[in-house]
Structure 1
Amino acid sequence: MKIQKEIIDFEEGKSFKLFSPSLKNCFYWHYHPETELVYVEASNGIRHVGKDISKFTDHDLLLIGSNVPHLNFDYGIQTECRQLVLQMQEEFTQNLTAMAEFSAVKELLDRSCLGLSFFGATKETVVQKLRIMESQNPFEAVMSLIEILQILAHSEEVKVLNQEDTRVQWFMNDKIRMGTIYHYIDEHYDKKPDVNEIARIIGLSTPAFCRYFKKQTDMTFTGFVNNYRINQAKISLLKGNSVTEACFQAGFESLSYFNKLFKQHMEQTPSEFRKEHMRR
């Protein structure tokens, strides 16, 4: 369940890569600095981008920003599935958005840290262009990519998956302290994270730590830990574990409290969530 940093290799002289990976039997929860456009050709499946876990039907087209954690979209799909993935180098997107003519594209890429799912005519048009790109020469393909980004930038056929920035760096606004805090929570969420202990580790009094943490995350330490546990429980349920297993693996000591908190976060019980996402 640990987030893995994916290292992406590009061909020499290429600013992006377009390929069709297949990781059906692999649970790959990862992130990378490159911006990614993904088309998942499947009758149904699950998208997990940042904190959002939701289902899709009749294929999906997603734009995922730099360093946003996400699960491979073909995970667990038992029916026929094909992915078409386009990954853009950081330097390419930075150079593109530095030009005034691409202000709309810059805004699109800035919003992509939330995870964007496109539908309707936008999806159909972009998928058609992606398929054409597979057989184009490098210059033609770059022109097609710029055109695709322009189409997405001006489209209103889009669903925003997260309401807040979920990039990995979000946890490290203060690189030393927040990095230490996040590491502590990641190591102790299934045990008993102690606000007094982490305050001591980073050299603050407990009241000062609580003020600092609330300012950085807009959440209390307990609220953040519970949110983290719920996300871990969702991942556990997606992997086929029972509600009881997911509850205790995530560090909750009471099944009734877990069910109550899960419903507050997800507006459905863990059993309903599991049943919905395992029905494939």
Structure 2
Amino acid sequence: MKIQKEIIEFEDGKSFKLFSPSLKNCFFWHYHPEIELVYVEASNGIRHVGKNISDFRESELLLIGSNVPHLNFDYKIQTECKQLVLQMRENFLQDLIFPVPEFENIKHLLDRSYLGLSFYGEAKKIVVEKLHRMKDENSFESLIGLIEILNILANSDEVKELNNEDTRIKWFLNDKIRMGTIYDYINENYDKKTNVNEIAQIVSLSTPAFCRYFKKQTNMTFTDFVNNYRINQAKLLLLQNSCITEICFQVGFESLSYFNKLFKQHVGETPSEFKKKHLNKVEGMI
């Protein structure tokens, strides 16, 4: 599965668009030149921005820079999921934000966004409230709201950089291997015994060369990467109240004791503890 370029269309007279996409069953590994602010609310999900692959719980607020490849954040989420996505025209930033001296902090924020920025704490709370209000405001008020949001994020230290290097599309296209191809293989085969020799052959590398490449690009071995993916899938199934033993084998593990041990290493709690805590939380919301 190759990286796709998303073509974003804007309404006439609008500098940005704010909408709620839903692509749960679609593996949309994509990029676009527009900078994007994403808020997603779900019990658990996968976060893949640039080289960073991790999971999130409950909610996530992300600023993703121009041409940074990312996976749709509702991918494979089977529980309730809400999203708000704000995409800004390229010329809006270049013509309005970048030339204005008073927006220097915002310019610095947007310059850093190629790393993928995850916000938390009070800044996240305030921005999410403003995003929800913007849906009902007129064009001028929503534009002012966007500038206020960018200013809040620009002045916040409640932020985590997801990548420590440039992962914009040029990096991926110049590389001999497409991350989408590897991700697609894992997505199709994580529930059975994956074969590093097979994926190495698919991407036209010897097995040792593939292992070196993969470790360099992800800071993980192929086996660790696959197990991390399996654990994320297991969490989604646990939230559906599935049987732990069945989940263990359903996501590709051959030993229940190993699954329990690895799950606790990754998540900080056993599958049964995770299941009990999050299902009680869901029941309390009903």
TM-score by structure 1 length?
0.71
**What is the rounded CA distance, in whole Å, between the counterparts of 2:142 and 2:85 in structure 1?**
11
CA shift in 2, pair 1:71/1:5, >3 Å: farther
**AA aligned opposite 2:88:** Q
Question: Residues 39 and 187 from structure 1, CA distance in 2 versus in 1: closer, same or farther, beyond 3 angstroms?
Answer: closer
**Residues 1:52 and 2:77 are matched in the alignment:** no
Structure 1: gaps of 5 or more residues: none
Distance (whole Å) between structure 1 residues aligned to residue 17 and residue 241 of structure 2: 33
* Secondary structure, counterpart of 1:17 in structure 2: strand
Q: Sequence identity, in percent?
A: 45
Ranges in structure 2 where 5+ consecutive residues have no aligned partner: 48-53
Cα-to-partner distance string for 1:92-144 (whole Å, 9 max, x where unaligned): 575366547445334434358545344337734773586267333x3443233
Alignment of 1:15-94 (within 5 A): 15-19=15-19, 21=20, 33=32, 35-38=36-39, 46=43, 48=45, 50=47, 51-55=54-58, 62-65=61-64, 67-71=70-74, 76=79, 85-89=84-88, 91=90
Residues 101-116 of structure 1 correspond to what in structure 2 (within 5 A)?
101=101, 102-109=103-110, 110-111=112-113, 114=116, 116=118
Residue in 1 aligned with 2:122? 120
Asked whether the 8 Å contact 2:45–2:56 carries over to 1, the reply is yes
Q: How many residues get paired?
A: 259
Cα deviation, residue 38, structure 1: 3.3
* Higher relative contact order (CA closer than 8 Å, sequence separation 6+): 2
Deviates more, 1:254-263 or 1:5-14: 5-14
1:150 aligned residue: 151
Task: Give 2:86's aligned amino acid.
Answer: Q
- Contact 1:69/1:168, CA 8 A, preserved across alignment: no
Partner Cα separation in structure 2 for residue 173 and residue 262 of structure 1? 34
Aligned to 2:190: 189
Look up the equivalent residue of 1:242 and give its one-letter code: C
Three-state SS of the structure 1 residue aligned to 2:56 is strand
Cα deviation for residue 30 of structure 1 reads 6.0
For 1:144, the aligned partner's letter is G
Q: Deviations over 1:224-245 (max 9, x none)?
A: 1111222222222234433223
| Mean Cα deviation higher: 4-13 or 256-265 | 4-13
SS of equivalent to 2:57: strand
Deviation at 1:189, TM superposition (A): 1.6
Q: Using the alignment, how far apart are the partners of 2:170 and 2:242 within structure 1?
A: 29
Distance of 2:28 and 2:239 partners within structure 1: 16
For 2:57 and 2:164, the matched residues in 1 are separated by 16
1:206 alignment partner in structure 2? 207
Counterpart-to-counterpart distance in 2, 1:271 and 1:151: 39
Q: CA deviation at 1:145?
A: 1.1
Aligned-partner SS, 2:39: strand
Match of 1:134 in 2: 136
CA drift of 1:149 comes to 0.3
Question: Is 1:13 the counterpart of 2:13 in the alignment?
Answer: yes
| Residue type of the alignment partner of 1:248 | F
Is this contact kept in 1: 2:119–2:160, CA < 8 A?
yes
CA 1:261–1:15 in 2, change beyond 3 Å: closer, same or farther? same
Aligned to 1:252: 253
Provide the rounded CA distance (Å) in 1 between the counterparts of 2:207 and 2:83: 49
1:215 equivalent in alignment to 2:216:
yes
Letter in 1 for 2:64: G
Letter in 2 for 1:181: I
